[in-house]
């Protein structure tokens, strides 16, 4: 299997090379050259398997012919061994035909752990096999950074630099990141928003000499490895609700569009997904685009679901690539227009195609709070504000009740105790196994929202060997 760029101007790479490159050198995102298909009997055979064994069957076709395919089984077994629930991603029911997929049983209590624990192991093994050093750079609105620091801390071959928007993450997220004492972990608090952090990361990748010098790689969902490791839970959830014999719908709390794109990938592989509902908070660039056809990200608004305080949804580019029939020229036109004017418009035909599969709803702060309260009163279950955005958005879908609707629960309520209590005093307790970093150590450097300042900090702190001149040069 080879991976190609959505912008069509980069060489096709193997899974492992695409994983280490993270972003394609032409600025595009890697995509599999074709979607592997699972036949209905193969999907049915996932029933009753351990999560890691199911993930092995689902992910394996993407690694075909790659040296890392031999590592897949052991990587998955190790990755999910430390989860706090034997099912890894269990389902619970909150109403007739309404389910919650609990993706918060990993070490940092957010869905990011399911992929990050896999990606870090693949990267580390690749570097040990090939020799060399990598510098991971990532942007976070709180959860990706915590999961990455947990997954990469203490590794000899990899330094990790995580950029978060200063003052715009929860206290628990901040402590999870800044109390790591390992020398390979670096936190940068950027004076800006998550979109600013992500723009800086992309600008660093655009500096090809810097990429080479630092062995730059990324762990955001712009890396296809992240998306791939998020696909299996769509399959396991749907199969436990009757797939492949019964279609299932999903509502996904959305920011960077990575998680919901993994649902799209599952469908492209043959899973009967009848609907994918994009649930955003007040940062509603996607619901506005699905209503009007104009994608026009605006300034980020701070909400009680800070991990979704994102306007520029990077992985939307992957969906546009699919929508354009994989025409990279069309994608480049959209992206150039976005860069030049801050917006682009989809045709009525394209919009219709998207609406056939996707719903998109924005949920306000009061509705989020009322949903947390309502779910608690009806079920006794505490949900976090990101999940609440998902539950509220799923209720706006007109055909609900006909097909099972699964809302992805993307974070444990203990990560957002103030918002998750619904101001009713039902305070979430953190699972004892997670051992939150309560120490007061703060390892974090504040920097302006400026590419040069961040690059200078990374160069000054990375353990990457400077490039040696070619012999005879």
Ligand X SMILES: N[C@@H](CCOP(=O)(O)O)C(=O)O
Ligand Y SMILES: Cc1ncc(COP(=O)(O)O)c(C=O)c1O
Residues that bind ligand Y (CB under 6 A): 110, 143, 221, 253-259, 307-308, 386, 410-411
List the structure tokens of 215: 């062995």
Binding partner of 176, given ligand Y, ligand X, none, CB within 5-8 angstroms per partner class: none
Task: Compare residues 94 and 229 and give the one whose CB is closer to ligand X.
Answer: 229
- Minimum CB separation of residue 360 from ligand Y in Å reads 12
Residue 383, Cα to own-chain centre: how many angstroms?
Answer: 19
Binding partner of 386, given ligand Y, ligand X, none, CB within 5-8 angstroms per partner class: ligand Y
Task: Compare residues 5 and 230 and give the one whose CB is closer to ligand Y.
Answer: 230
User: Cα–Cα distance between 54 and 46 in angstroms, integer?
Assistant: 6
Task: Compare residues 8 and 428 and give the one whose CB is closer to ligand Y.
Answer: 428
Task: Compare residues 71 and 384 and give the one whose CB is closer to ligand Y.
Answer: 384
Binding partner of 220, given ligand Y, ligand X, none, CB within 5-8 angstroms per partner class: ligand X
User: Cα–Cα distance between 227 and 315 in angstroms, integer?
Assistant: 10
User: Cα–Cα distance between 214 and 226 in angstroms, integer?
Assistant: 21
Query: DSSP string covering 354-400, please?
Result: HHHHEEEEE--HHHHHHHHHHHHHHHS----HHHHHHHHHHTT-TTB
Binding partner of 135, given ligand Y, ligand X, none, CB within 5-8 angstroms per partner class: none
- Minimum CB separation of residue 120 from ligand X in Å reads 13
- Minimum CB separation of residue 307 from ligand X in Å reads 4
- Minimum CB separation of residue 157 from ligand Y in Å reads 26
- Point out which residues bind ligand X (CB under 6 A): 140-145, 220-221, 255-256, 258, 307
Task: Compare residues 66 and 317 and give the one whose CB is closer to ligand Y.
Answer: 317
Q: What is the 3-state secondary structure (H, E, C) of 253-277?
A: ECCCCHHHHHHHHHHHCCCCEEEEE
Helix (H/G/I), strand (E/B), else coil: 298: coil
Q: Is 112 a catalytic residue?
A: yes
Binding partner of 371, given ligand Y, ligand X, none, CB within 5-8 angstroms per partner class: none
Torsion over CA: 285, 286, 292, 294 (sign): positive
Q: What is the 3-state secondary structure (H, E, C) of 11-50?
A: CCECHHHHHHHCECCCCCEEEECCCCCCCHHHHHCCCCCC
Residues 6 or more apart whose CB falls under 8 angstroms from that of 181 comprise 441, 443
From 112, 166, 202, 415, the catalytic residue? 112
User: Cα–Cα distance between 337 and 162 in angstroms, integer?
Assistant: 29
Task: Compare residues 217 and 307 and give the one whose CB is closer to ligand X.
Answer: 307
Task: Compare residues 144 and 304 and give the one whose CB is closer to ligand X.
Answer: 144
- Minimum CB separation of residue 386 from ligand X in Å reads 9
User: Cα–Cα distance between 239 and 232 in angstroms, integer?
Assistant: 11
- Minimum CB separation of residue 419 from ligand Y in Å reads 12
Query: Edge to edge, what strands does the sheet with 216-218 contain?
Result: 216-218, 134-139, 158-165, 185-191, 445-448
User: Cα–Cα distance between 337 and 323 in angstroms, integer?
Assistant: 17
Bridge-partner residues for 189, per DSSP? 164, 446
- Minimum CB separation of residue 337 from ligand X in Å reads 23
Binding partner of 140, given ligand X, ligand Y, none, CB within 5-8 angstroms per partner class: ligand X
Q: Please report which helix (H) or strand (E) contains residue 237, including its range.
A: helix 232-240
Binding partner of 6, given ligand X, ligand Y, none, CB within 5-8 angstroms per partner class: none
Bridge-partner residues for 351, per DSSP? none
- Minimum CB separation of residue 117 from ligand Y in Å reads 15
Task: Compare residues 98 and 411 and give the one whose CB is closer to ligand Y.
Answer: 411
Binding partner of 196, given ligand Y, ligand X, none, CB within 5-8 angstroms per partner class: none
User: Cα–Cα distance between 98 and 273 in angstroms, integer?
Assistant: 15
Q: Please report which helix (H) or strand (E) contains residue 5, including its range.
A: strand 3-5
What positions carry a catalytic annotation?
112
């Amino acid at each position: 299997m080879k991976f190609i760029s959505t912008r069509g101007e980069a060489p096709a790479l193997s899974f492992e090379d695409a994983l280490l490159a993270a972003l394609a050198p032409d600025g595009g995102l890697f995509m599999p050259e074709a979607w592997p298909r699972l036949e209905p009997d193969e999907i049915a055979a996932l029933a009753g398997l351990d999560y890691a064994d199911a993930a092995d069957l689902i992910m394996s076709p993407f690694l075909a012919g790659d040296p890392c395919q031999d590592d897949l089984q052991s990587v998955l077994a190790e990755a999910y061994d430390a989860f706090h629930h034997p099912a890894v991603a269990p389902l619970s029911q909150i109403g007739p035909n309404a389910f919650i997929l609990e993706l918060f049983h990993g070490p940092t209590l957010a869905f990011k752990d399911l992929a990050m624990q896999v990606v870090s192991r693949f990267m580390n093994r690749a570097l040990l096999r090939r020799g060399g050093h990598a510098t991971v750079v990532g942007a976070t609105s709180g959860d990706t950074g915590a999961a990455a620091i947990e997954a990469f801390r203490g590794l000899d071959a990899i330094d990790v630099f995580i950029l978060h928007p200063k003052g715009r993450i929860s206290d628990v997220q901040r402590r999870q990141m800044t109390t790591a004492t390992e020398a390979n972990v670096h936190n940068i608090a950027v004076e800006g928003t998550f979109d600013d952090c992500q723009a800086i990361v992309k600008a660093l990748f655009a500096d090809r000499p810097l990429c080479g010098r630092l062995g730059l790689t990324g762990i955001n969902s712009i890396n296809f490895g992240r998306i791939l490791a998020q696909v299996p839970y769509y399959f396991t959830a749907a199969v436990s609700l009757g797939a492949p014999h019964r279609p299932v719908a999903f509502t996904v709390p959305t920011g960077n569009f990575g998680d919901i794109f993994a649902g799209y990938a599952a469908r492209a592989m043959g899973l009967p997904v009848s609907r994918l509902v994009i649930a955003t908070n007040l940062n509603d660039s996607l619901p506005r685009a699905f209503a009007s056809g104009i994608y026009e990200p605006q300034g980020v608004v701070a909400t009680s679901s800070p991990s979704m305080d994102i306007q520029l949804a990077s992985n939307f580019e992957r969906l546009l690539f699919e929508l354009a029939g994989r025409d990279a020229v069309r994608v480049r036109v959209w992206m150039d227009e976005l860069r030049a004017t801050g917006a682009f418009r989809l045709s009525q035909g394209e919009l219709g195609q998207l609406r056939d599969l996707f719903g998109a709803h924005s949920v306000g702060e009061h509705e989020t709070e009322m949903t947390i309260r309502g779910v608690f009163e009806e079920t006794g279950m505490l949900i976090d504000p990101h999940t609440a955005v998902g539950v509220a958005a799923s209720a706006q879908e007109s055909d609900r009740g006909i097909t099972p609707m699964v809302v992805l629960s993307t974070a444990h309520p203990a990560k957002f105790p103030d918002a998750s209590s619904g101001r009713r005093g039902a305070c979430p307790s953190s699972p004892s196994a997670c051992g939150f970093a309560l120490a007061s150590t703060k390892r974090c450097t504040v920097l302006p929202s400026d590419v040069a300042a961040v690059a200078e900090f990374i160069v000054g702190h990375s353990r990457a060997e400077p490039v040696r001149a070619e012999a005879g040069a």
